[in-house]
Structure 1
């Protein structure tokens, strides 16, 4: 299988604080990886390094087989940050306009928007179940609906890899299951490789193929069913606190 992301002996520090130490991680094409760990464990830092938003200090990152400092094909990667920190929902824009803005980088700010581009916007909205809201103002939507729109915005440039940093921030509990089902369809039907930082491993474990448990070091990386079989005391020692909330067996196919 082709590796989409290869991380080798990666370490990173903020001044004197080591946040990541000797991380080795590989993500294969078609995987759905959940990265879990306590607050301050380096999860978001790891994503920023993979996205080139932070400069490598020690170690190597390869994207689609190419060293990150030589990688130019950023259109292959879509990114959805935590919505609350990244977008002013009072901005007077329709759902269609927000998604269309995802093509700006590829087309240029003043490029003429053609029919094919409009079709891509509508297809992206359709993929996340938001096509019927295309003319609605983004600020009128619920948190979960807004997050679906931001995913559509990331999808419009047709990425092969989609990276999500805690995408259920602002999504109410009753819609989280449907949200993850939508990600499952993107992964399986659209063949998009997904990497997601999440605290909802109990809810999403029947959708993800792999789990990485991070707390400065990479304590576990493997198949989801292997993660589910780990002893609670081992998980608790990785997290530094009790993690009984992570019990997540799905004999009945999920929630």
Structure 2
């Protein structure tokens, strides 16, 4: 049996006096594509920060690739893409190639000259997200969806085993969202990258992901996507704390 990529045991997190996460137990197997869903303020982002070692839970344990997160050192094996990096200065004079190659810093170190093999790795990452023809284009000239693809290429260029995406389609026009999800499926199925996708787009992702976890302070559901689709609306409403209508989109 493969070692789980992520193991979360009895995790609790409190901001000041507000308990955000309570008794979270979650295991993510290698090769999974997990959709992490839940209402605003449900603790999804807090959970991601615990996974990335940015927050320390008051109780519980987080393991990455079998190692307690306090001892985990191989961060190049973990890629992260936030909501369209609004803090990213798209006017900065950098090409797509330069932006993507910056993702090798954690692996190669700062001010390291890219050898032939490294340059090819960058080109492969750009091609994997469908931006080959934009390799030399300034990042600021790309559409919002294309920029997010470039950020994903930057995240996968170090060849991570785990890729975490926090609401990656925010600001992406509706016409490109479907292609965007299909690209993520390709990264998961063909490249074998374990994915965790935080999203509010419940109906759209259920036929893309392999598993779904629903969090609202507690972990209310964790199972295969088809099991999630079979939930009744009143069960979903209990999870979310308000009325929820799930519309699935099969293609």
For normalisation by structure 2, the TM-score amounts to 0.97
Q: How does 1:1-255 map to 2 (within 5 A)?
A: 1-244=2-245, 246-248=246-248, 250=250, 254=251
In 2, the alpha carbon distance for the partners of 1:233 and 1:88 equals 44
Deviates more, 1:5-14 or 1:86-95: 86-95
Contact preservation (8 Å) 1:130, 1:148? yes
Deviation at 1:202, TM superposition (A): 1.0
Note the C-alpha offset of 1:56. Answer: 2.7
Cα displacement (A) at 1:160: 0.5
Q: TM-score, normalised by structure 1?
A: 0.96
Q: For the Cα contact (< 8 Å) 2:204–2:249, is it kept in 1?
A: no
Cα distance change, pair 86–158 in 1 and its aligned pair in 2 (3 A): farther
1:197-247 deviation line (CA, Å, top 9, x unaligned):
011121121110000000010000000011011110110111111111x22
Per-residue deviation, 1:83: 1.6
Cα distance in 1, alignment partners of residues 242 and 52 from structure 2: 30
Aligned length: 250
Following superposition, which runs of at least 4 residues in structure 1 exceed 3 angstroms of deviation?
none
Structure 2: stretches of 5+ with no match in the other structure: none
Cα distance in 1, alignment partners of residues 42 and 227 from structure 2: 21
Aligned 8 A contact 2:35 2:209 in 1: yes
Shift of 1:249: 5.4
1:3 partner SS: coil
User: Cα RMSD between the aligned structures?
Assistant: 1.0
Listed as ranges, the gaps of 5+ residues in structure 1 are none
- Secondary structure in 1 matching 2:70: helix
Partners of 2:166 and 2:89 in 1: CA distance: 17
1:42 offset after TM fit, Å?
Answer: 0.5
